[in-house]
Amino acid sequence: MTKPILRVSEVRIFSKDVEKTLVDGISFVLNSGEVLALVGESGSGKSVTALSIMRLLPNSLFVTAGEVVLGTTNLFHLTEKQMNGIRGRRVSMIFQEPQTSLNPVQTIGHQILEALKLHRELSSEEAESEVVDLLLEVGLPDAKSRVKWYPHQLSGGQIQRVMIAIALASDPTLLIADEPTTALDVTVQKQILELLLKLKSERNLSILFITHDLNVVADFADRVAVMHDGKLVEIATCSDFFSAASHPYSQKLLNCLPNEKKFLPKNTRTSLLRVDNLHVWFPQRRGIFQHVCGYTRAVDGISFEINEGETLALVGESGCGKTTTGRAILRLCSMTKGQISYENLMIHSLPDQEYRRFRRKIQIIFQDPYLSMNPRMTVGNIIQEGIRALTYEIPKNIQDRYLYEILDRVGLSEEYLSRYPHEFSGGQRQRIAIARALAVKPRLIICDEPTSALDVALRSEVLALLRELQEEYGISYLFITHDLSLIPSFAHNVAVMKDGKIVEKGTAENVLLHCEHEYSRKLINSAPNLAIKTRALSINE
């Protein structure tokens, strides 16, 4: 019989800033050696619940009722000094944004060493040896030399491994993982999940896994707890949840998952954008005179075509050159060699003044909508700034009405024009970014990971909006993503990038179901719970 390690009973958390109950009487049990996934939309109370277990709530939030029992200890009855003996020692946490959780001016070895010295009585030699052992355990290559590296020298996946090493330094019995795979590409995500499962087995860890990615839940968790508006609406085993979810909200979340078996119909529309032999090389400089000693070949001779009213999905691991390709098309970074033509116009050789007038025909939706907006400008000014910058003339007597129509088209109210970016949710900000791109009536929009940080419901809404706009206005998309599950229902064609090169391209159906390149098969095999995975692999074996 499994032994409960954590009991959360009738916990209520109130925010005095917004005068609202954020967590409303939730109760659940986490058993020893179990993975319990806490899922729900953004703002449902998942992360706040985790922070309350760790007693790390900000001053504006406080627990009004309930208890959290770890083993036989009620954590809410402990003093802060007593809690310091629990926090990190028996319960550790992997935070959502590892880059902001690490000190940028300290080496990763020093930061792991701090955790060891705080919670375990080790000599200096034993502690330094343990740091290397921990890095090796979490799969960081060349651990002896990398203990002296700083966070900025590591990739996203490597930083996440360092965070796991810090969390494991005190040998805890409970690990809370708050969105540990958000924004990671499918191969790195698979590595992190496999590492957590391996550590769970070897250390008998119990894991509270907070996520909005139901595909990950299906592959990783033992049980699922669904949160909605601060309440726990359903708890079930993974098999029961995905086969017969009982609560209407759970059914809604499952219905928001993209249909991975239904591909978009093919058509023979005319070409809109053609990229031929594109190279983007960044010089590497050394010495006091900064002589060029080599090049980083971010994009190394790629070619593709986007037709009118179609979507080309550009997929691959982080660092393969996807975003650089999009930026090169917009001349946000310099191309080294190649040609880019829009219809019959060679846009790569246009003078700056002419290209500025042309640029309204190609717009971009950035990965992080909040960082791409001026926080001191209202939504109305943000949209108007793009219109003015690209010299898209709108008569003054209809400017306000035009802005109202644009916001209405993306599902937002005209009253939002006077608000600021921080007043909106992630999904609303992404809609504002889409409105800004639409305002100058482009024919091609480059979408750079526009849904990577959105929960399943918001992601479904944003993708449905983009598809509606495509059908209504005939807009073409270059859709940069690492989420293969989105491709069948959204993209007509796919190009797979690796190390700056396109290794395979074709229709979405052909690439996903009849992939020929080994790297394409690796990506499909790494995607969590992808319905087409087994079909594609069986066809190629």
Kindly state the DSSP code that residue 178 receives in the 8-state scheme.
Answer: E
pLDDT on residue 537 = 40
pLDDT on residue 116 = 87
Tally of CB atoms within 10 A around 61: 16
More confident residue, 539 or 151: 151
What is the mean pLDDT of the segment spanning 260-285?
Answer: 85
Q: How many angstroms separate the first and last alpha carbons of the chain?
A: 41
DSSP-assigned beta bridge partners for residue 490: none
| Most confident residue range from 188-202, 325-339, 352-366 | 325-339
Kindly state the DSSP code that residue 87 receives in the 8-state scheme.
Answer: B
Q: How confident is the prediction for the chain on average, in pLDDT?
A: 86
- The closest alpha carbon to 164, from 182, 178, 153, belongs to 178
Kindly state the DSSP code that residue 88 receives in the 8-state scheme.
Answer: T
Between the CA of residue 126 and those of 4, 121, 147, 170, what are the distances in Å?
33, 9, 15, 14
pLDDT on residue 410 = 85
pLDDT on residue 63 = 93
pLDDT on residue 335 = 92
Kindly state the DSSP code that residue 76 receives in the 8-state scheme.
Answer: G
Q: Which position has the token pair 């590296």?
A: 149
By CB atoms closer than 10 A (0-12, 13-18, 19+), residue 109 is buried
Asked if 253 and 459 count as a contact pair (C-beta separation under 8 A), the reply is: no
Measured CA to CA, the distance from residue 426 to residue 311 in angstroms comes to 24
Greatest C-alpha distance within the chain = 76
Q: What are the tens digits of pLDDT across the range 28-47?
A: 999 999 999 999 888 788 98
- Mean pLDDT check: name the lowest of 201-205, 226-230, 261-265, 429-433: 261-265
Q: Which residues contact 78 (CB under 8 A, 6 or more apart)?
A: 55, 86
What the block records as the tokens of 213 is 């990615």
Between the CA of residue 1 and those of 32, 33, 68, what are the distances in Å?
10, 12, 22
Tally of CB atoms within 10 A around 270: 8
Measured CA to CA, the distance from residue 260 to residue 487 in angstroms comes to 8
Give me the domains of the chain, ranges plus CATH numbers.
1-90+174-181+203-255 (3.40.50.300), 271-368+442-540 (3.40.50.300)
What the block records as the tokens of 225 is 């707890």
Asked if 236 and 55 count as a contact pair (C-beta separation under 8 A), the reply is: no
Asked if 3 and 67 count as a contact pair (C-beta separation under 8 A), the reply is: no
347: Cα within 13 Å, side-chain hemisphere: 23
For residue 539, pLDDT over 70 is answered with no
pLDDT on residue 183 = 65
Q: What are the tens digits of pLDDT across the range 212-234?
A: 888 889 888 999 999 999 999 99
Measured CA to CA, the distance from residue 165 to residue 92 in angstroms comes to 11
Q: Which position has the token pair 């319905």?
A: 531
Asked if 372 and 437 count as a contact pair (C-beta separation under 8 A), the reply is: no
User: Parallel, antiparallel, or unpaired: how do β-strands 174-178 and 35-39 relate?
Assistant: unpaired
pLDDT on residue 126 = 86
Kindly state the DSSP code that residue 395 receives in the 8-state scheme.
Answer: -
pLDDT on residue 540 = 45
Which percentage of the chain shows pLDDT scores above 90? 37
Q: What are the tens digits of pLDDT across the range 457-474?
A: 888 888 888 999 999 889
- Mean pLDDT check: name the lowest of 316-320, 473-477, 509-513: 316-320
Q: What are the tens digits of pLDDT across the range 511-535?
A: 998 889 999 998 888 887 544 443 4
pLDDT on residue 241 = 92
Q: Rg for the chain (alpha carbons), in Å?
A: 25
Q: What are the tens digits of pLDDT across the range 61-93?
A: 989 999 999 999 999 999 999 998 898 889 999
pLDDT on residue 101 = 81
* Torsion region of 452: left, alpha or beta (phi above 0 gives left; psi -120 to 50 gives alpha): alpha
More confident residue, 109 or 353: 109
For residue 207, pLDDT over 80 is answered with yes
DSSP letters of 217-254?
Answer: HHHH-SEEEEEETTEEEEEEEHHHHHHH--SHHHHHHH
For residue 55, pLDDT over 50 is answered with yes
What is the mean pLDDT of the segment spanning 472-494?
Answer: 90
- The closest alpha carbon to 372, from 442, 315, 426, 312, belongs to 426
What the block records as the tokens of 286 is 């050394």
- The closest alpha carbon to 209, from 454, 90, 34, belongs to 34
The pTM is what? 0.80
CA torsion 184→189→192→197, rounded to 10°? 150
- Please name the helix (run of DSSP H) or strand (run of DSSP E) that holds residue 5, with its range, or none: strand 4-15
What is the mean pLDDT of the segment spanning 425-432?
Answer: 79
